[in-house]
Amino acid sequence: MKAAQNYRPLKKLAVRLALAASLAATSLTASALNIVLSNDDGLTSNIKALYKALKTAGHDVIVSTPCQGQSGMGAAIIFLEPLTPLTQACLNNAATAGDAGAGPVTKVEKGFNYSDFSYVNGTPIMATAYGLDILAPARWGSAPDLVISGPNQGQNVGSIVISSGTVSNVQFAANRGISAIAISAGENTEGKEDKSGNHADNRLSLIVADHAVVLLSELVKKSRDKPILPAGLALNVNFPDEVTSASTWSFSRIGSYDAFGAVFTKDLSKDPVAQSYGIKGLAYPSISLAFNTEKPTPEQREDESVVYKTRIAVSAMQVAYDHSPSGQQWLRNRLQGLFDQ
């Protein structure tokens, strides 16, 4: 009799545990998103790490990347040009010469499953479009809940974002009404390349990925069954070079302070930035970078070019080019004489 009495509370405990497990599973399912993951760098340590972290968090993820690194291509699209079979291997051997111009990653790697990964021999926007127009309908029968672009190997801060394929992917998706987030980290997140063209995994990629999942979890938690971002708003997220698991978050804005910008140089062989990257002996004109040596003003302390140096900077971006109602009214007033004709 005593044994039976002891059994009842144990039975109740088992029921409570089973119920808790069921609720946890339901919560995970309710918060799980269908995600298209893209970038402008190709098959990198960063995108592999973020894919694994998102899958572990319960999300369903499709990856679509450019075959080769396409940094600085912005929103470029090559229209109506057939994507013929590859003439050379993609970055990190995602596909080899002779493979289709767009399709599933053919790389085989022990301990990593590439069945959710695809590539496009084109620009970043073309890879994102492949994910949205071909892969997502085949997988879910609809558009994804979210597009994440990155994490990029190098920060995208300030006005230079208009040249960024990472950011342009997000603008492309957001223009279709899909929530979208651009993520960029330091160049030190790149995986080292071996003689066979394979890129090693970088430990910093794991740290960036874990933080990105925390950000997404917070957005999902506050969304209350609505899209995680409001229409017309996208996010630009930038990690500091010295990112750690203890790195903290901060509001930021694109602002007026630029950490660096694009400049035309007449002689690449004499350009200090080119020399710092080991580019020597090329006495030709080219585009280079100019780094800002001015100190930011107190009014610029929240600019992402300042914030990302020490904290994870999160900026709200407008989608497309439409101006504010006040700007539109200014134009109506200024050109009223023309418009009234």
For every residue of 75-133, DSSP letters joined together read T---TT---PPPSSPPGGGSS-TTS-SEEE----BTTB--TTEEEESS-HHHHHHHIII
Q: Domain locations in the chain? A: 31-255+296-325, 258-295
A 10 A CB-CB count for 217 gives 12
- Asked if 171 contacts 125 with a C-beta cutoff of 8 angstroms, the reply is no
For residue 280, what pLDDT is reported? 77
State the alpha helices, DSSP H only, in the chain: 2-31, 45-56, 124-130, 136-140, 165-174, 203-223, 272-276, 304-307, 325-334, 336-339
Q: What tens-digit pLDDT sequence spans the chain (341 residues)?
A: 444 444 444 444 444 444 444 333 333 444 899 999 999 999 999 999 999 999 999 999 999 999 999 999 999 999 999 999 999 999 999 999 999 999 999 999 999 999 999 999 999 999 999 999 999 999 999 999 999 999 999 999 999 999 999 999 999 999 999 999 999 999 999 999 999 999 999 999 999 999 999 999 999 998 877 899 999 999 999 999 999 999 999 999 999 999 999 999 999 988 988 888 888 778 899 999 899 999 999 999 999 999 999 999 999 999 988 888 999 999 999 999 999 98
Please tell me the total number of residues recorded for the chain in this structure. Answer: 341
Residue 317: its pLDDT value, please? Answer: 95
Q: What is the CATH number of domain 31-255+296-325?
A: 3.40.1210.10
Q: Looking at residue 226, what DSSP letter applies?
A: S
pLDDT at 27: 38
Cα–Cα distance, 119 to 92 (Å, whole number): 12
Q: Which two tokens stand for residue 242?
A: 């010295």
- pLDDT at res. 10: 45
